Structure 1
Amino acid sequence: MSEAAKKSEAAKKPTHYRLVSALKAIGPYLREALCKEGAYHFDCLSVCVDDKKSPEDREFWGWWLDLYQDGEQFEAVYQIGLYDQAGVWKTEVAPAAAVDEITRTQEIFHQKLVEVLQSKFDFQVVVGEQSAEFV
């Protein structure tokens, strides 16, 4: 490959910071402090377990995503569970009353994620085999 071709190819690939900027624009889901080049972490607190509790004591049902870059594509690994008072995600089966909202927010987010990565950078997104199934 010629030097000019290498430079042209490198110019097409976005930097980590350019990717982070585009991913942040999707919404409040990106946890930038947990991201590093090629690995990005998102989450969504979809349903409050008990909104009568004070905000610092609340827990949430929702989903989280670890997005891994592999060349020209990204693998999305989604999980569903409980975000506890300590700020830790635990893989748990959500109650039936929360499932529709968790699924709705995940589907909207995933559509936006695919659109951004395809339209801005021509990257494909595949859902990893180890992802939780959304009903």
Structure 2
Amino acid sequence: MSEEAKKPTHYRLVTALKAIGPYLREPLCKEGAYHFDCLSVCVDDSKSPEDREFWGWWLDLSIDDAKLEATYQIGRYNQVGEWVLESAPKAATAEITRTQEVFHEKLTKALNDKFKLSVEIHDDSVEFV
């Protein structure tokens, strides 16, 4: 196995993941396990900003050897700052799916270009429609 194909260090991986955009939640990451999320659609934009909740997705990405597994979930980001696994309304689904697809494309390209790693979708992952 060449040097380029070896498992990247935690620091190098975090640096590459942060470059993708604002999705990485670094305080929730540890070596081999990385957390991302995206607040795609405001539940009720008539509420004041500090009271708003959002529909969106989150991702737990795990790395084992040279294999990455992505587990995506869809739900509501509540006022407390926690994700609740919940079906999004049909009106929000298209935007949630769009943001997830754009992110996943960036993620797979970055990891493949930089580290020659591929990302597999875990069986427990939600299906985006």
* TM-score for the superposition, normalised by structure 1: 0.91
- Structure 2 unaligned regions, length at least 5: none
Q: Over residues 18-58 of structure 1, what are the superposed CA-to-partner deviations in whole Å (9 max), with x where a residue is unaligned? A: 11010011110000000000000000000000111111100
Are the aligned partners of 2:7 and 2:65 in contact in 1 as well (CA < 8 Å)? no
RMSD: 1.6
| CA spacing shift, 1:10–1:115, aligned 2, 3 Å | closer
Offset at residue 12 of structure 1 (A): 4.2
- Decide which of 27, 35, 39 is 2:33's aligned counterpart: 39
Aligned to 1:86: 80
The answer to whether the aligner puts 1:52 opposite 2:21 as a matched pair is no
- Decide which of 66, 73, 83 is 1:72's aligned counterpart: 66
**Partner Cα distance (1:12, 1:106) in 2:** 27
* TM-score for the superposition, normalised by structure 2: 0.95
The answer to whether the aligner puts 1:107 opposite 2:108 as a matched pair is no
Runs of 4+ in 1 over 3 A off after TM superposition: 8-13
- Structure 1 unaligned regions, length at least 5: none
Percent of residue pairs identical: 71
Q: Over residues 109-132 of structure 1, what are the superposed CA-to-partner deviations in whole Å (9 max), with x where a residue is unaligned? A: 000000011110011100000001
Higher relative contact order (CA 8 A, sep 6+): 2
- Decide which of 99, 117, 133 is 2:127's aligned counterpart: 133
Aligned positions, number: 129
Offset at residue 13 of structure 1 (A): 3.4
Could you say which structure has the larger radius of gyration?
Answer: 1
